[in-house]
Every structure is written in structure tokens, then in C-alpha cells.
Structure 1
Amino acid sequence: MEFRARNYIAEEQSHALPRSRAAIHPLSSPSPPTHLRQVDDNVENRNNEEFFDPLRAPDSNAPVKIVDGRDSESSSYGNDDSAQVQMKEWTSFKRFLMQRFPVSKMISISSMSNMIVRGGKAYEKYSTSMHMEELDDPQKSSEEGAKVITWREYVSRLHELKEEINGAWHNEDRVKSLKLSIKVARLLMDTSVSNFYPTLFVLTTDVLDMVGNVVWERIRQKAEFAEDGTKFCSLPENFRASDVCIDAKETCYNWFCKVGSIRELLPRIYLELAILPCWRFLTEQPAESLQRLVMMTRGLADPLASAYCRLYIAHRAQKLPFYDTGYLITCVNDIKLIFTQISSAKETAHGCLADSKSSLVSLMEPAIEFIMKCIFNDASLMRVGKVLVELGIGRSQEELFGGSSCVSIVLHHLLKELPTDVVSSHAVDILHLIKCSNDYSYDQCLNYRLLGLRLCEQISQIGSVDDIVNEVILVVSQCGLDEYLKVIDAYLDIVLQNQMDGHLKTILEGISELACDQVIAEDELAGLQSILVKVLSHFEDLEDVFSLNHFLQILDLMHGSSRSIVNMHILDMATRNGYVRDPTSIQLIFEISQELHNDIDIANKKNDDNQQQARLISHFVRMVDHGTEYEQHLAFLVECRGAFSSIIELKEILVHSSNFLATKALKDGKKHLSFVKSCMAFSEVTIPSISGHIKQLHLYLETAEVALLGGLVSHSDGLIDSALDCLQSFDRMEGSRAAVDSDGILSSIRKLCSLLIMVPDNPEVGILHIPKSILSIIHSQSWSPRMKTRIFCAIVSLSATLSQGRLPYHAFHPEVMGNDLLFFGNSSYVHELISLAASVLENLVDVIEREPSQAARGNMSLEACNCIVSSFKINEHVLLVCSKLIEIAKLCLSAKDKYLISTISFLDKNLPAATAASSITV
């Protein structure tokens, strides 16, 4: 057998593609064709959206989803978009109420709510001829004292009542339905368990809304259908009272009479509100009854009950097609008066009354919040001015904010709903109004904070920014740390975006003074976290942040998860703009990384937070650059290896960094050779601690290549031996990862074979010691035939390459001699190479035949045949092996297979003339 002679330079030139200079960069965006420019123009005009996908554009022909009328309140009064939005907002608001005021498991109820604990037997079938005065009898329980019921039982009982009302209605027992509805409405008179009242309101109004819906449908049916069921008209959505027949009007009027005869005021108001939309059947101006109902609520003595009754007024009024919000302003002014009375109540010596007042105000707050939303819903600027005047805040349309004060809780929700333009243009006046409205019904710090948040919505249009920030800082400097942080956090974006460095210095100094010598609570930590993160996000250079007075001092005061989050932002910012080179910054960030590493949960490494922390630390280590201070950088890597031992991926980065550092030092000449040896030692010690044989294998080979670059042949040999030991200890992994690991091993062995072309053989340990060791490993492992075949081909190619008089590439070091120079003209060396390749060929066909997959077996045969023909001169022995491989391929693949056809053609071209006739049999 004899290897083919190769001229790698000539082959490279013959296979090189012709080159020509391109007019434009292939990755640039050329001008679109004419027929596409219109589409691009349309895309650019879509308010500069980030990306417009025409496949995600709304389909104008798509069917509109119809909500089932049985599940939607708005189906009773119209299906327009506004009704749907109002229904969703009300549903969300009810959920918010129940979540904000959670109730205990047990509820103490008064005799007023005694009906809840009665069984269903208490409700007997009532005659339709019952006199209306019987409906006024509350039938209070004879038992005295409060009763206790679980929350679930209370809710379950209310659901039962709802089903009873619905069942009685469908059984044509309207009187019973009304009677039960009145009893449900009477529950709202019970405010004895105040914390339960919001939940009670949600549950009972759900029942009353259902009653209003069925009454509406009943009357509408009367207006459209005759007694015999024939339909004589269809009322449009915007029908008028003149469109309604007399019979329907009489039924409607009868319902209002029944409700008007209820003795108790609160149930009477609630029941009329439930059927409020039915006024549309009787009058052209149904909203006129609202002012009367608002006046009636003034007769409710209980503050909590009256506030929620006004809340229900605002909700039910939305069912009317048109209404003036003046009645809502009256509701707000009435609630303001109640708040004033509550605040003016004298406190007890022990402060018990103060606690009860605060609790009561908190319970009444949702009423103000919802009514304010209704008032300012789609309000024009002119309408806003009128509202402010009617609320007593503005003197006129021109002077929106006068000198008078406002109840602070009302002011809070007013400020929340005001249009952004109004807030920005009248910020100073609003600030003065907040300062004057100090009635303790609401935390004033929250009003200052809210103003800051609203101003941040339109920072560019704020007038007198400096005066506003000065005033706010002056006010909150008298508060505690928690209040200070909450308010300052809201104004910090304004300070940063307006480059108010003096104010930023004052803010950080104020935080430092308030936070020193005290344990910071969780709420305060959250405020500090928000402030520091905003500061970090504003600056581009981390050194500018560290130079801020008191920043590092404030950072040291933090702890726990808030400190970790700030540390993560610091690490992200440190590496955002490239390498970290300042020694002071490197040390400081290293200490921050240590703190972050200490917070990593070792037992739960797969946690997303832990992984993010590990990635940030690893990225920081990778981006550190000590310049020409190579020893200092290596010392840093050693320190990182000890400090971040639990981060597995960091160890790989440390080896890569060490090898890069060695390569960088080699460019400066031989003077750093001892340092390069230190880097090699660092890598050799670090690699065994990395989990995963494939990772170790790659790192050993990478480090061996760097050692060879430095002329450290003995180090390179030792690293290659370690790689072989790693390969020998690799256990085949079962399951889904087997294919991935096989590819990794194959890639590593092929890389090793490529590296061996540059590594000079050591006669002391035997010529071709490493390739023979690879063969020995192959025979000892139970790897797949496909994998073994490709490794055999790699060794054949390696042997053929090493036999050439001129190797394709050499080590980039003048003192490292290639094997083509070491063994030039040595026939025994070539004989060893041929012997190694021959031993491979002896096993190659047998290994291929053991491949279970027919298609894979055919492709493996062709791959091996191409490798053999490329490596050897064709003789009888080589031709025999190739013939066997071609026969295997013919049995496994189609005769028209392109790979098979091209391989046969390649084989024919390389046959000598003496054996050309035999190619026909092939």
C-alpha cells in the first residue's frame, strides 16, 4: 500500500472560487422593487411601530363575537362597545372590592340579616292576591343577640336566594320574587360587620342587577308581543317612550309603584335603582329620576351604607342612554361632607376613635374612586373645568384651582382621573391644593406621590419644574424614611430627565440621613430598590454612578432580595458598554458579585433568578480586562475560581479567559513564557472540576493548542494525554442524549486528529503513540458503527496527511518542528503510518456491516470509500476494499442515488490504466 502524494497549495488554488468586488454589501438592505414600495410606505406610516406583521392585522371580514345574553348584563340594554366596556370595568371593580377587603371565616350578623340563617322552609308560596302592605313586614327574628355564620355559608345562602328569585319569576310568581328581592336589599342596611360590607355589597347587587334585567325583559316583551305571543313591533335600541304601548307602560308603572311602597328607605332606593333603566318606557328623560334618588340618599344616616348606595347609583346610571354627570358631582359633594364630619369627630384619649375613623374612610374610598371615574370618563377640557368648579375647587373655567382646600381622599381620586394636560399645566396649583388639604382623611404623602406619577406621564410639558421639585423635597424632608422614599421615587424620573444634578445630590443626601443607624423595613427596601435602579438606568457609565455622593453608602444599607436586584442591575450596567478596565471598579464589582453569589440558592440552581445571577457574574468575569497587567489578570481569575465555585459555567469561562490571556501574552514575545506556563497550569487544574466529559475534552484540546502556540510541546503532550484519559473514561449515555454526546465525541476526536498534524511525535513514547491510543479507545468502547466508521476515516486521513513531504499547516512557533521535518526521508516512519492505516482498513468493512440502518450503512460505505480513494494510491488491495464498500452501497441504496453515482465516478477517475477494466465490475 502507498499513500497518494498531495500538493495542498495547488489543490487550494484549483478549488478556489473566482472573486470579484461587490457593488453593495450582501447583508445590506437594497431598495425594494417598485411594486413593494407602497407596502413599505404604509408600514412606515403606522405611527412608527416596531414591526408590522400583515398576517396579524385585524381581519375586516372576521365575524364579530356575540356575547350570550344570558351571561351579559349589557345584552338587556344594548350590545354597543361602551356597554361592553362598562360591564368589564364593573366586573373588575367588584373583584377588586372583594380582594381589597378580605373577610374572616366567621361572620357575626345582626337580627337585621337574620334571614340568612333561616332554611328554605321559611319561604312559603304566597298568593298573588297578597296585599302590598304585607311586603313591608320585615319579619324580624324573635331571637335576640347576634348570630355567627361562616363566610361560605353566607355566600351560599345568597346564591340560594338568587336562584329562588329566579325560579319564582319563571313560575310567574312575581310577588314572591319582589318580596325576596326586598329581603336581599335589606341586607345592605346591616353595617355591623363593616369589613364585610364591601363583599356584601358585591353579592347583593349581583342579585339586584339580575332582578333589574328580568324586569326589563318582562316589560320589553310586553311592548313587543301581544298576549297570544304574536309580535306586533320591534323596539330599536334607541327607542323613545312614545314608541311603547300602553299595556307595557302600565306594567312598568306598576313596578315602580310596588317599589315606591317599600317602607325602609335604603331597600326602596336599591330596588328602584335595579329597575332604573325601565324609566325609558315611561318618560323621554329617564335620567331626571337620578337627582331625586341622589336627594333620597341624604336620608341614610349610616355613612358606610350611604356611600355604597351612591356607588350603586353611579353603576346603574350607566345603563341609561344619556345622563348628566351633575348628579354624580352632588354625590361626591355629599360624601365630602360626610368625610368632613368624620374627620371633625373628637378623638378619644386612647386613639380608638382615630383607628375606627381611618377604617371607615378606607371602606368608603372605593365609592369615591368609582364615581370619579364615571365623572371624568371621556370628559372634554371644558367639561373638566366645569366639574372642578362644581366640586368647589375652581373659582371659574379660567381659574381651575382656587385657594380653597379639598378633602384629601377626594383630591387623591380627582387627581388620579384628571387629564394629563390639565395636571401638567396646573402642577403648581395642584401642589398648593395638596398642601392646603391636610385633613388626615388620606395620607398626604400618597397625594404628593400621585402628583409625581401623573407628571411623569408628560414630563416635557411640565412648567416650573424646579419650583415643584423644590417644594416637594422641602415637604417630604419632614417625613419618615418610608414616606420620603415613596414620594421621591415618583419625582425621580423628572429630576433625572431634566438633568437636575443638584436635586439628585439633595435626594441621595436625604436618604442617607434618614436611613443611617436604623434597620430598614421591607417596604423601605422596595423604595430604595426602585430609586437606585432608576439612577442606574439613567447613567451610561457606571463610574459616574459610583462617583455620586452617598450612592455606595446607600447601597451598603440594603440587604435581601432588593439588594440582589440592585446588584444585578449594577453588573448588567458594568458590562453593557464593553470591557471593564478600571481597577477600582473591577474590585468593587467583584465584591458586589460575591454578595450576589452568596444569595444564589445552591439547592435550586435551575431557578430563573439563580441562572440570571450566574449569567451576569460570568459575563462580568469575561469582560474584565487588565490590559498588559497579565499577572494581575491571572490573579483575578484565580480569585474568581475560589469565590464563585458553585457556578459551573463560570469555570469554562475561566479556562477560556486563561487561554486567551496566554495567547495575548505570547504576542508580546518570549519574555512572558513563564507566565504562559502559569496559565497552562491554571487551566490544567481547573478543567477537572468541570462537569461533563465532552466539555473537559474540548477544553483540554483548546489548552493544548495554546501550549503548542507557545512552543510548550511537553505541556501540549500532557494535555492531549489528559484528553485521551477523559475520552477513555467516557461512559456511553443512554436515551435522548446519546446522539448528542456521540456527535460531541466525534467532533472532539476529529479536532484532535487535526491538532496532531502540528504536534511533533515523541520517539521516546513511541511513534504515532496518540493515534494508536485513539484506536485502542475505539476498540474498548461500545460506540455505534456509524461513529466508529467516521473515527476510522479520520485516522486514515490523518495518516495520509502525515505521510506527505509537506504538511498543510504547522504550529505557529519557530521552535516547534513538524513531523515532515523531523522524519523527512525516514522510511520506517512512513511504514508505521501505512501499518496504522492498514489496521484500520481491516476493521472498516466489518464495522460498517454491523450498522442496523440500511440507508445509514449505504452512506457510511460511500463515505469510507471516498476517504480511502483520497488517501491511497489504488492497488489490488485498496481496490478490493473499495469494491466491497461499493457493493454494500449498491445493496442499501437506489441505483439512481447521486452520492453512489458520484463515488463510482470518482473511483473510476483514480484507477490506474492497468486496472481500468476492473472498474466495470465495480
Structure 2
Amino acid sequence: MEFRPRNYVAEEQSHSLPRSRADIHPFSSSSPQSILRQVDDNEENRNNEEFFDPLRAPDSNASVETVDGHDFESSSNGNDDSFPVQTKEWTSFKRFLMQRFPVSKMISVSSTFFFSQMSNTIVRSGKAHEKSSSSTHLEELDDPQKFSETDTKVITQQEYVSRLHELKDEINRGWHSEDRVKSLKLSIKVARLLMDTSVSNFYPTLFVLVTDVLNMLGDMVWERIRQKAEFAEDGARLCSLRAENFRTSDVPIDAKETCYNWFCKVGSIRELLPRIYLELAIFPCWRFLIEQPVESLQRLVMMTRGIGDPLASAYCRLYIAHRAQKLPSHDTGYLITCLNDITRIFTRISSTKESAHGCFAGSKRSLVSLMEPSVEFIMKCILNDASQRRAGKVLVELGLGRSQEELFGGSPCVSIVLHHLLKQLPIDIVSFHAVDILHLIKCSNDNSYDQCLNYRLVGLRLSEQISQIGSVEAVVNEVIQVVSEYGLDEYLKVVDAYLDIVLQNQMDGHLKTILEGISKLASDKVLAEDELASLQSILVKLLSHFKDLEHVFSLNHFLQILDTMHGNSRGIVNMHILDMATRNGYVHDPTTIQLLFEISQALHSDTDLVNMKNDDNQQQARLISRFVRMVDHGVEYERHLAFLMECRGALGSIVELKEILVHSSNCLATKALKDGKKHTAFVKTCMAFSEITIPSIPGHIKQLNLYLGTAEVALLGGLVSHSDGLIDSAINCLQSSDWMEGSRTLDSDGMLSSIRKLCSLLIMVPGNPEVGILHIPKSILLIIHSRSWSPRLKARILCAIISLSATLSQERLPYHADHTEIMGNDLLFFGDSSYVCELLSLTESVLQNLVDVIEQEPSRAARGSLSLEACNCIASSFKINEHVFSVCSKLIETAKLCLNAKDKYLTSTISFLDKNLPAAAVSSSIAI
């Protein structure tokens, strides 16, 4: 056998395409190639009727609205396209109510209301027997002691909910079994439950459960009357009532009589609250009787004034707003009346002594909080999609403005009502009247709502359209004056809302005042969670606004404020700082580097290194690693290496960081070598740093690649002995690695890539006669034979060793170490026949092993592909003689058995062999 001589320079020139400098990048949008390509693509698309661009296709599901869940209301009595949206909004609002006011598992309820209404109606078997309301009242009159002794019962929340669900099912069954009177009576009993406000925190949940039952009844009544109007008793269709625009004249007399009968039955209910709720449940049915059912709403609003309990009356008005949405169109005058009535209740609560409200004694703020959802929902209904003119009219009707031209010029407003008004007002009104609104907040100083939240809300609303604010300076001045009297928590909440306005308008003086105020209030104080959250938001906004981190650090009091933070909020701010520091390139300033290092230490101490799969922990580790990678001390190489050593000691438990430390050390050594000065001692120190760091990195393949990268740097510095030692360490890693490393299967492609990289490096490494010039390739072969690796991996490694031997045999190597004192093997062993003989001897044994390994590959397709790879490797490495030709022939035969005869790889390989066959073997080429 004889190695095939190669002229790498000539081969490179023959395979290179002619190149010329381009003035315009060929991939830019303005390049001629791109323009022609776009024209061709457009023309092709026009000619291709089947062309489909998925990015431009309409979303087939965009207009589909689905409402899931058993408690969602039917839209059968809906009147326009907005009802599915309103239904989803109501469902979301109910969920919000139950989440905002959670209750304990055990509830104390009034036996008079709960057990008398439900226990006698539902028994465990699911059957029911009727017990009239009048008999219950008679029992109470006959034996008042009995009812007073058992005034309260303690039951589980689940039991309460389960009984209501059972009652709902019973109402549904009664209706569909034609016992509608029973369904009505049971519904009245359910409505009576809302008269009991003794367990105040449970009332919102009770409201949701009860109104679900009432809404179900209302839908069933609506559907019954509609069916009666559209169909005769024999099933013949009489008419078709379009929900959105039918008139009362379209409704037959029988249907009207049935509808009127329902309202009469509801009107005969003795108690006021159940009567109002039941009429509201069937309220949309007024459309079958009168053209303007909205007129009846005002009557119901007046009736709610007879409900003495403030909590019950507020939620009754909430239900009025909800059911009125079922009407096709209506004025909001009745809602404004509801809101004004609730406002008067708030005023009365604020001005009355604590003991005046019985069960709410000592809990004014709790009562106001429970009533707040009513204000929120009603205000949203009033101002939903309201124009600026309509919103101005509402303000006048609420008594806040004298006229449309002079808004916010009237009396002060209850703070909680004002809050939800500001939340729903059009942003144009808020922006134009910002100063007037701030003055209104200042004079609306009652106990119903925390005023700082109103100031905060105005800031958040103004931030929606900062450029539209009428008088920014006056607004910020007013806010700064107000917050100067606040404590830290309130101060932070308000200035956080206005900080974007201050920053975008470059109000540096106000920013300085704000930071000074925070520093003064937060000094020598352990911050609470709410304070930390607000402070976190403020600092993140500062970091997001400025592009230069050093500018942020130079702000007065910024670092002092940062030092007051702790816990998760401090960690989040630290992560933003690191992200900003590495966002715009390398970090050079020594002071900044030291500060960021301390921040990294703080983050590292908070990182859960045991649970690194957590996204937050991974992000922290990545930011710390990126910071270390982006540090640059310039030509102060020793200082930079000292920084890397400090990082290894303080942050070394982050695996990703250790790899970066090795790469940074190698990069530092390379920079020093390119500096033109003698830095041999420094490069040796860098090599020692890497050699010490690499063994602490888990994963033998990772270690192998790092050792090889470090060995390259050692060769660049002329440190041959260091390079040999690093390569030996790489071989030890290869020796130590098994197919299964821990519980994770090794990547065979990664293993192959690493070994190929090692073979490529060995071309530059001078052979060592003391241990044998082929010591490393032989070590690789020993590892291959001792491992149960796949035939596919073994075959490709053997091909790499063949290519390595063929390359080392050349008179001129393709590349050398970039150091004048390191001689390549082509110079060290030039003319040494024993050197080439040793290479051939090694390659012959590898060649035989290669053929045997390929035959062991179980996959036919993989075996055929490996045969062709090996054949091309052999033909490229050796001159074709009889022995080489026989090996290639055997491999081609294997490929033919495994692959299709027309396989392009197979046919091209056969063609290549034919072109390179010597004359003596031409007669045998037919066998191939």
C-alpha cells in the first residue's frame, strides 16, 4: 500500500470559485439579485393557482366565540352580537368576585334563612317535599324560642354549595316535568337566601350561586314564551321573532297572557328582595308586553331603596345592571340613579357611628370593600365604549360637573366611586382635565377608599397617552406636593405610576426629588413586601429608560436605594442590571465591573443550585455567565486573569460559568500572544488556570473539548510540553467516558465531532519519539476496541484515523502551528522511511477493522452509507492498487446490497473509483 500524494494548495485553488468585491450585500433588499428574486416569486405565485401563503391566510377561528362551562348563561334571549361578549364578561366578573372574597371551609349561617329554606326542600335522597313560607312563619310565631336558640348553624362551604346545586337541578327537573309552579317556588326560596348578610365575606359567593339559579329560570321562562309565540299547540309555526328587532305587535295574545301571568306571580311575592330578584330574572320578557321595557327599570331602582341592608341593596343594584344588558338598547339613567343611591349609602356609612349597622359594627372598611364590586360593574356599564361627549354628560349627571364645558367643577365625590369613574373614563378626558381631577381627589377625602390609590390610578391612566397630557409640569408638581406628606408605601405606589411621565418628559429635577424622597423614607428601614414590589417597579423603569448603565449608577441615591432592597425583588432588579450591563457590548469601567461582580455574588447566593431546571435559576446563571464573558480589562491581562480567578472562587458552582472561565482564560492568553510582547509566563499561568478549572466541570466530553481548545492555545504560544499534557488529559477523558454517563445517554455525533477535532489538532502537534510518534492514534484505537459503541460511530472514527495517517504522510502538511519555534512532522521526519512505514502499518490494521465493523452495522441503509463513506475515505487516502481495489470492491458490493442501484451516492462513488483505477486494474473494474 502507498499513500496518495496531495498538493493542498493546488487543490484549494482548483476548487475555489472566482470572487470579486461586491458594493451591495447580495442578501440586502436593495440588491439586484433580491429584486429579481422577488419579481420571479411574484410571477410564479400569480401563475400558480395552488400557491398558499399560511402567514397571509385568514384565521378561520378568529370570529368563532365559544363559551364553555356549565355555569355560563344561555344567550337564547340575547338581542344582538354583543351578548356573547357580555356573557363572557359576566362570567369573568363572577370568577373575580369569588376569588376576591374567599371564605373559610366552615361558614356560620342563619338557620332561619338557610335551613328553613333549603333543608326542608332537599333531602339526602334527592327527593323534595314542599313546606310553605307561611307555615315556616307560623312555626316561628308558635315557638320563637326554638328559632332563637338555633339562630346560627355551622356548615361547610362545600355542603352549602352542594345543596344549592341540588336545588338548581330540582328546579330544572321540575320545569321540564311541567311543574313550573314548583320551579318558581323553589326559585323564590333560593332568592330569599340573599336576604341573609350575616356572613358578609360569603355574600359575594352566595350572590354568584343564587343569580346562576335565577338566570337559569329567566332563560327558561323566556324560551317558553318565545315558543308559545312562534308555535301553535299543534306545532305549526305562527311567526318568527327575531331577537334583535321584534315588536310587541308581533307577539300573539296567548303568549302575552302567559308572560303577564308570570309577572303577576312574581309581583305577589311578599318579601321585597326576592320579588325584585325574580322580576329581574324574567325582566327581558317585558319585551313581549311593552315596547320600552327600560321604563320598568326605573321602578325597580326605586324599589331597591326599600332594602335596608346596605350590602344586600348594593348587590341588588348590581343584578339590575347585569340583567338590563339583555335589552337591545337602553339609556343609562337608571344606572346613574343606582350609582347615586350607592354613593349616598357610602356617605351615610362614613358619617354614622360604628354600631349603627349591626353585624358590620367595627368593619366599615370591610363593608365598603364588599360593596365595591357593585360600583365597579355599574360604572363599567355606564361608561362602556362611551364617547367623550357622552362621558361628559355622565359626569354632569353624577354631580361632578356644572356643564359639558366645565367638568369636575361640582361637589366632591366619594373616593371609591371616583376611583372606578377614573378607571372607566375615556383617556382624552383624563388627559385634558388631569389637574382638575387631581384637585377633585384632594377634596374628596373620605374613608371609603385609600386616596393614594386614586392618585396612582390617574398616573397610570395618563401614562397611556403621555404625549396628550395638557399640562405635565402642573400635574407632576401637584403630585410631588401631595406625596411629600405620605409614608414610604403610599409614596412608592404613587411615584411609580408617574415615573414614566417624568422620564419621557426629561424632568430631571423631579426625578432627583423623587429619588431623594425614596432614599429618605427607606433609610434604616426593613421594607415590607408591598414596598419592595413598588420599589422594584421603579428601579426597573429607570433601568429600562436609560441606555447607559453608568448613567443610572450616577443618579443621586440610586445605589443607596438599591442597598435597601432584599429578597426576590432585589434579585429581579439585579437581573435587570446585569442584562442592561451586557446589552450594549463589553464592560470596561473597573468600578462598574466591581459593582456588577457584587451583584452577581448576591444573585448567586439566591440561586437554587440544586434545582437548576427552574427557569428563574437558569436565567440568573445565564446572566452571571454573560456578564463574566463581557468583562474586558483591555491590555491589563493580569488584572483580567485575577478577575477570572475571583469569579471561579465566588461563582464557581455555576457549571456554565466554569466553561466560560476556561474560554475566557484561553482568549486572554491568545490576546496576550498577539500583543507582540513576550508573555510566555502569563500564557503559562493561563494554561495552569484552565488545567485546574476543567476537571471540576461535569461531563467528560465537555472536558475533552475544553482540553483540546486549551491545547491549541498552548501550541500558539509554543508550549509543546503543555500541549502534550493537555492532549493526554483529553485522551484520559475519552478513556473515562462511557456510552452511559450517569443517567444521560452520550451524544454519538458529539463524540465523533470531538475525536475528529482531536485528529485535526494532531496534524499540528510534533510527534514525540520517546512515547512513539503514533502514541495518540493508537490510544484512540485501544479505546475504540474496549468500548461497546455502535458500529456506525466506530467506523467513522476509524475513517478519521485513516485520514489523519494519510495527511501526516504528506511531504507538505495542509497547516502548521502558528509559532516559529514549532516544527511540523513534515519537517521533523522528512525523508524518514520508518516514519511512513509506521503510518502504513497502523493504517493497514485500521483498514481491516473498518471493513469488519461496517459488516456489524444492523441497519441496512446505515451499512450501505457507511460502506460508501469508507470507500471514499480509502480512495482519497491511498493510491489504488490491487489490495486497495479489493477492499473498495468489497465495500461497493456491500453498498449495492443495501442501497438502491440508482442511489446517487453509490453511482458517484463508482464513477470516482473508475477514474482513479490504474491500467492494471481496468479489466477488473467491471466487477465494481
Into which bin does the TM-score normalised by the smaller protein fall? over 0.9
Amino acid of the residue matched to residue 616 of structure 2?
A: D
In the other structure, the counterpart of 1:46 is none
| Superposition deviation, residue 586 in structure 1 | 0.4
Q: Does 1:214 align with 2:220?
A: yes
In structure 2, distance between residues paired with 1:64 and 1:507 = 49
User: 1:76 is paired with a residue of what secondary structure?
Assistant: coil
Q: Find the residue that maps to 1:109 and give its secondary structure.
A: strand
| The one of 789, 792, 801 aligned to 2:795 | 789
Asked if 2 retains the 8 angstrom alpha-carbon contact of 1:2 and 1:873, the reply is: yes
Equivalent residue for 1:554, pick from 561, 568, 575: 561
> Are 1:113 and 2:118 matched, yes or no?
no
- Code of the aligned partner of 1:106: M
Between the aligned partners of 1:423 and 1:615, the Cα distance in structure 2 is 43
The aligned counterpart of 2:504 is 497
Q: Among residues 253, 258, 263, which one is paired with 1:246 in the alignment?
A: 253
What does residue 409 of structure 1 align with?
416
Q: SS at 1:671's partner residue?
A: coil
Q: CA deviation at 1:640?
A: 0.9
Which of 427, 446, 452 does residue 445 from structure 1 map onto?
Answer: 452
Structure 1 unpaired stretches of 5+: 41-51
Q: Which residue of 2 aligns with 1:909?
A: 915
User: Is 1:284 aligned to 2:284, yes or no?
Assistant: no
Deviation of 1:450 after TM superposition, in Å, equals 0.6
Q: Which amino acid aligns with 1:471?
A: E
TM-score (norm 1): 0.93
Shift of 1:837: 1.9
- Contact map agreement 1:793 1:864 (CA 8 A) in 2: yes
Cα gap change, 1:53/1:491 in structure 2, threshold over 3 Å: closer, same or farther?
farther
Distance in 2, Cα, partners of 1:38 & 1:820:
58
What's the CA shift for 1:553? 0.7
One-letter amino acid of the counterpart of residue 240, structure 1: R
Are 1:729 and 2:724 matched, yes or no? no
In structure 2, list runs of 5 or more residues that go unmatched.
46-52
Paired position in structure 1 for 2:202: 196
Judge conservation of contact 2:5–2:810 (CA < 8 Å) in 1. yes
Q: Which amino acid aligns with 1:860?
A: L
Counterpart residue number, 1:44: none
The partner residue of 1:777 within 783, 803, 806 is 783
> Contact conserved, 1:116 with 1:158, CA < 8 A, in 2?
no
Distance 1:231 1:921 in 2: 89
- CA–CA distance in structure 2, aligned partners of residues 53 and 355 of structure 1: 63
Q: Report if aligned partners of 1:165, 1:177 keep a CA contact under 8 Å in 2.
A: yes
Q: Distance in 1 between matches of 2:441 and 2:68?
A: 47
Shift of 1:840: 2.1
Alignment of 1:516-527 (within 5 A): 516-527=523-534
1:172 aligns with 2:192: no
Structure 1 residues 136 and 244: alpha-carbon distance in aligned structure 2, compared to 1, 3 A threshold: farther
Moved more, 411-420 or 65-74: 65-74
Which amino acid letter does the alignment assign opposite residue 147 of structure 2? E
Question: Aligned partners of 1:65 and 1:307: how far apart in 2?
Answer: 32
Give the Cα–Cα distance (whole angstroms) in 2 for the partners of residues 611 and 101 of structure 1: 36
Match of residue 6 from structure 1: 6
1:641 correspondence with 2:648: yes
Report the alpha carbon displacement of residue 678 of structure 1 after superposing the two structures with TM.
Answer: 0.7
Quick one: structure 1 residues 444 and 69, their matched pair in 2 at CA, closer, same or farther if it must change by over 3 Å? closer
> 1:819 pairs with 793, 803, 825, which one?
825
Equivalent residue number for residue 97 of structure 1: 97
Distance in 1 (CA, whole Å) between partners of 2:887 and 2:147 is 108
Report Cα offsets for 1:52-104 as digits up to 9, x if no partner: 964552349x9966879998645332363211111111111111111111122
Residue 617 of structure 1 aligns to which amino acid in structure 2? I
Q: Is it true that 1:356 corresponds to 2:363 in the alignment?
A: yes
Which range moved further: 719-728 or 260-269?
260-269
1:420 aligns to 2:423 (yes or no):
no
- Would the alpha carbon gap of residues 345 and 745 (structure 1) be closer, same or farther in structure 2, given more than 3 Å must change? same
- Native 8 Å contact 1:372 1:417 kept in 2: yes
Per-residue deviation, 1:773: 2.3
- Describe the SS at the equivalent of 1:120: coil
> Of 598, 603, 620, which aligns to 1:596?
603
Q: 673-682 or 181-190: which moved more?
A: 181-190
Counterpart of 2:737 in structure 1: which amino acid? F
Check if 1:682 corresponds to 2:685.
no
Q: For 1:120-269, list aligned pairs within 5 A.
A: 120=121, 140=140, 142=143, 143-145=146-148, 146-148=151-153, 149-237=155-243, 238-269=245-276
Residue 754 of structure 1 corresponds to 760
Equivalent AA in structure 2 for residue 264 of structure 1? E
Provide the residue aligned with 1:868 in structure 2.
874
Q: Which moved more, 1:863-872 or 1:23-32?
A: 23-32
C-alpha contact (below 8 Å) 1:655/1:687 kept by paired residues? yes
Counterpart amino acid of 1:58? D
Change (3 A) 1:66 1:676: closer
C-alpha displacement of 1:7: 1.6
Q: Give SS of 2:279's match.
A: helix
Distance 2:342 2:662 in 1: 71
- Distance across 1 between alignment mates of 2:175 and 2:355: 51
Residue 332 of structure 1 pairs with residue 333 of structure 2: no
Q: 1:870-890 CA deviation, whole Å, 9 max, x = no partner? A: 222333333333333333334
Contact 1:805 1:824 in 2 (8 A): yes
1:85 counterpart residue number: 85
Q: Would the aligned equivalents of 2:75 and 2:87 in 1 still touch at CA under 8 Å?
A: no
Q: CA deviation at 1:645?
A: 1.8
Can you list the C-alpha shifts for 1:147-194, whole angstroms capped at 9, x where unaligned?
312222222222222223233333333333322222222222212222
Residues 412 and 10 of structure 1, relative CA distance in 2, 3 Å threshold: same
The one-letter code of the counterpart of 2:629 is R
Deviates more, 1:23-32 or 1:180-189: 23-32
Indicate if the aligned counterparts of 2:67 and 2:88 stay in contact, CA closer than 8 A: no
CA distance 1:672–1:392, change in 2 (3 Å): same
Distance 1:879 1:188, change over 3 A: closer
Amino acid at match of 1:611: Q
Cα distance, 1:336 vs structure 2: 1.0
SS for the counterpart of 1:602 is coil
Offset from partner CA, 1:112-146 (integer Å, 9 cap, x none): 3332452337997779xx9xx96996875843232
RMSD value over aligned CA atoms? 2.8
In structure 2, the partner of 1:657 is: 664
2:319 maps to what in 1?
312
Query: How many Å apart are 1:348 and its aligned residue?
Result: 7.9
